[in-house]
Structure 1
Amino acid sequence: MASGGTLLFIFTAICVTAVKSDEFVKIECKTTNVGDYGQQSLLECVIKTAELAQDATIRLVIWRKLTSPEDEDGLPLVVFAKDKLNKKSGYRFAEPLWDKKNMNVSLLITNTAVEDDGYYKCTVITDRGDSSMLNTLKVQARYSILTVYSIPEKIVPNKDSTLICESHGGYPRGTLRWFDEENHEWTGSSEMEATQSDDGLFQLTSRLSLLRGSTFPKYTCAVFNASGGKEDEFTFETNIPPPSLHGSEEDSNRVEIYKIVVPLVVIGSLMVGLLCVLLIYRWGSHCEYTLLVSYLMI
């Protein structure tokens, strides 16, 4: 049986070890970060020590790129071990003159690419304890200025045509939406295609079919990023009157005839009525007969 002194020593050693790991040293990171494509990105992490461990010396630092939060064997990007620093091209500590006494272990990505999007883990071991922290980087790239054109090049009334809207160089995948001049949305009548290039950026193409007899004077195409924010818009003018004003030629002729005939009928009725008033004193009931005949003729 172990003596009371031995048990006390073992208990004390276990407690000290636990304090070293959980209380003496703790790494604090900004867990969610946003990086712009083609620019520098910073994953901020700083080692915090208790008062009794302020003179802690770093023995090991490992920055890994993970495939998922549960990944334990991610790709090493920056490794400091046995007083030697190894780093993958494009990745380094944020402070160029970093050494094992520097508690700022932030990671700098010098040229952010789409492949940098994802999960990262920083692990630190010191002579006073160890700690690790998981964080993420969300890469974003702004979509290019929109290009909108029609097929055929000149839109003709009462003939089918297509509007095509394009934007490229964005990330993550965005959307193209269509609106008419009264801001009514027509995206449901369009078809959008998104293709990803070798660098991971997206090319967006949307086709809006314009049916004969239902084409509006203006259509606006807008590109929205993955967060729903509008990045650009372009208004295309078809130079065609609204659908209610460009009916068939036969309908137009009927409208013109109606505009001429109706006033003539009204004027004729007024003249007959006035004539009856003037002759009522001469012919009496004969005027009533004349008025009746006139209305029957109309």
Structure 2
Amino acid sequence: MPSVIRQFTALSLLILAVRPDGELLDLKCQPTVGIVAQTTDIRCQYKDNGDTNIVGVFLKKSTEENSIFQMYGNKIYGDKRFTLENPRNGPSLKITDTMFSDEGNYDYRVVTDRGEQTIRLSITVTANYSAPVTSTWPETLINGGPADLYCNATEGYPAGYIHWFDKTGTNWTINSVLRKVPKDTNGRKSVALSSKLTFKSINKDLEPFICIVFNSKHVQDGKSTIKSPIFSPEDPEKNVLEPDTTKIIAGGMVIGSLIVGLLFALLFFRRKRSFHDQRRSSAQPFLTDYAKTAEDDPENP
């Protein structure tokens, strides 16, 4: 504790020794956009960097009281992901391994041997989308037939967009439906994108179809090409791609025929058995009456 007090006292005396003409610094920082898990540069500069030496810098979120990063002399305190990029070239800062929690407004105080100044700067944090994944229904597309093309992308933030193009560059996005699903997993925000492009009659001459994922700034994040070829109805290659389907259908027909045959055989035997049972039942009364007559006949020994 005494060492901290001594450091603070020394810094206070150092700041008091600085000439109070902060307006000469004319400190400015550009709005900053960082990307999650990457390094973010916060660009700041004076009106004139000549013969200006940085004594200390203090950075804190506008909504908080304590600094998250401070440097004076050779002493650095706070979040070690924050650093003063190059004191000789100016007060620009750098953040390594950027997080969503870094987003917000900050008060940045810079103390130099020519004066000091505090300004407000802002940091926005985004996340790139993963490579889009495409699929189709049905898996085998037939020229002139119905088709649904799908494109999905995840992990991006803020919400982006998905556009569809054919080989000529025509934009088909107006015919698609886009779903956006926001998520927040342990502070990591993302918006999953899912786009469906439907054709009542798809045209082989327009393939391949391409889906392109754009971030919230309309900058391309990734793209994917539909890999399922479109076949003509009479195309022999279509049959080459579907041998298993043909075998399954043929096998099903054989099994179905066997089942029908067994059912007919079972029905035949049941009817035959029923016929014999009926004959046996009709003969039983006659035999019974004959037996009774034989017993009642006095001449029968």
TM bracket, shorter-chain basis: 0.5 to 0.7
What 5-or-longer segments of structure 1 have no aligned partner?
1-18, 243-298
Q: 1:104–1:163: structure 2 CA closer, same or farther, 3 Å change rule?
A: same
Counterpart CA distance in 2 for 1:189 and 1:55 is 59
- After superposition, the CA RMSD in angstroms is 3.8
Residue 264 (structure 1) aligns with = none
Report whether the alignment pairs 1:134 with 2:120: yes
Match of 1:191 among 174, 177, 185: 177
Q: Which residue in 2 is equivalent to 1:206?
A: 195
Aligned residues: 208
1:58-207 matches, within 5 Å, as 58=55, 61-66=57-62, 73=64, 76-80=67-71, 85-94=76-85, 104-125=90-111, 129-156=115-142, 160-197=146-183, 198=185, 199-207=188-196
Amino acid at match of 1:61: V
**SS of the residue aligned with 2:109?**
strand
Question: CA 1:57 to 1:142, structure 2 compared with 1: closer, same or farther past 3 Å?
Answer: closer
User: Which letter maps to 2:20?
Assistant: K
* Alpha-carbon contact 2:142-2:230 (below 8 Å) kept: no
Any idea what SS the aligned residue of 1:76 has? coil
Q: Percent identity?
A: 24
Contact persistence 1:43–1:107 (CA under 8 A): yes
User: Which structure: larger Rg?
Assistant: 2
Distance 2:100 2:54 in 1: 35
Deviations 1:207-260 (Å, cap 9, x if unpaired)? Answer: 12232xx21222221112222233433332451459xxxxxxxxxxxxxxxxxx
Gaps of 5+ in 2: 1-18, 234-301
Deviating runs (4+, > 6 A) in structure 1? 47-51, 54-57, 81-84
Distance 2:21 2:89 in 1: 16
Q: Secondary structure at the match of 2:210?
A: strand
Q: Which residue of 2 aligns with 1:33?
A: 32
Q: What TM-score do you get using the length of structure 1 for normalisation?
A: 0.55
Q: Secondary structure at the match of 2:101?
A: helix
Relative distance call for 1:27 and 1:122 in structure 2 (3 A) is farther
What's the secondary structure of 1:200's corresponding residue?
strand
Q: How far apart, CA to CA, are the structure 2 residues paired with 1:234 and 1:162?
A: 15
Distance across 1 between alignment mates of 2:203 and 2:59: 56
Partners of 1:182 and 1:103 lie apart in 2 by: 49
TM-score, structure 2 as length reference? 0.55
Is the counterpart of residue 216 in structure 1 residue 215 in structure 2?
no
